[in-house]
Amino acid sequence: MLEIILLSLLTIVASGVGTLTGFGTSTIMVPVLSLFMPLPQVLLLVGIIHWCGDVWKVILFREGVKWRLILAFGIPGIIASIIGASLTFNISKPILSKTLGVFLIAYVLFLLIKSNFKIPQKISAASIGGTLSGFFAGVFGVGGAVRGMFLTAFDLPKSVYIATAGVIAFAIDSARITTYLAGGSRLETQLALGLILFIPASFLGAKIAKKLIDRIPQEKFRIVVLVFLSLVGLKLLF
């Protein structure tokens, strides 16, 4: 029972960070839980919690949904997440994670130097972002940082950024969870019952983050996301 309570507290923190930045739930939970559980079970459990977090983002920030951007991002992302999830046990994760870490850090440094840089909201750019984020989400559950990287470059209003990230992640997570289940991944009975606490815990984290986001000025929001991107990059690298 103590493990379930601790995991619920971890869920609150991870969900709060994930809502605040548009990514981060999996980045926090996957490495921690991988120390105690088999990776297939970790990816499935965190995928379900992440999926619930996606729902909370859409509900709490529904006024910011932009369907054109979501479709351009989401459709390639779904396809790539299925491919990534099917390859998850046959690819060198250390090399992949270090490469992604270097890329994220370089991107943050670039945006700090070129603070006015902005990618046009074109279908082609969104499709590339969706493909990469979906693939990384499927392989080891941390595609949100890549998605955040592309959405940050669009310099969207904070409610649009979070709602768009939530809907896209919902589609990608639905695809990868289905793929994990089809591949034979299952939760132990205790963890499955623990979802009774984990799901409301994820909503509590999202609700707390919503109050924080309302207090962050729009011009500072991009900096907040960049800080978390750099932390994710350093974690993946080292």
Taking only the tens place, the pLDDT of each residue in 111-121 is 788 777 777 77
Rounded distance between C-alpha atoms, residue 89 and residue 83, angstroms:
12
**Global pTM?**
0.79
Domain spans of the chain? 2-237
Taking only the tens place, the pLDDT of each residue in 162-207 is 988 898 889 888 988 998 898 888 899 999 999 999 999 999 999 9
The percent of residues in the chain predicted with pLDDT above 90, rounded, is 26
The residue whose two tokens read 């955040």 is 148
The percent of residues in the chain predicted with pLDDT above 70, rounded, is 96
Average pLDDT value for the chain: 86
Radius of gyration of the chain (CA): 16
Q: Which residue has the higher pLDDT, 121 or 37?
A: 37
Q: Which residue has the higher pLDDT, 144 or 14?
A: 14
User: Where does residue 158 rank: exposed (0-12), middle (13-18), buried (19+ CB within 10 A)?
Assistant: buried
Reported residue count of the chain is 238
* Mean predicted confidence (pLDDT) in 119-136: 82
Tell me the three-class secondary structure of the chain, residue by residue: CHHHHHHHHHHHHHHHHHHHHCCCHHHHHHHHHCCCCCHHHHHHHHHHHHHHHHHHHHHHCHHHCCHHHHHHHHHHHHHHHHHHHHHCCCCCHHHHHHHHHHHHHHHHHHHHHCCCCCCCCCHHHHHHHHHHHHHHHHHHCCCHHHHHHHHHHCCCCHHHHHHHHHHHHHHHHHHHHHHHHHCCCCCCHHHHHHHHHHHHHHHHHHHHHHHHHHHCCHHHHHHHHHHHHHHHHHHHHC
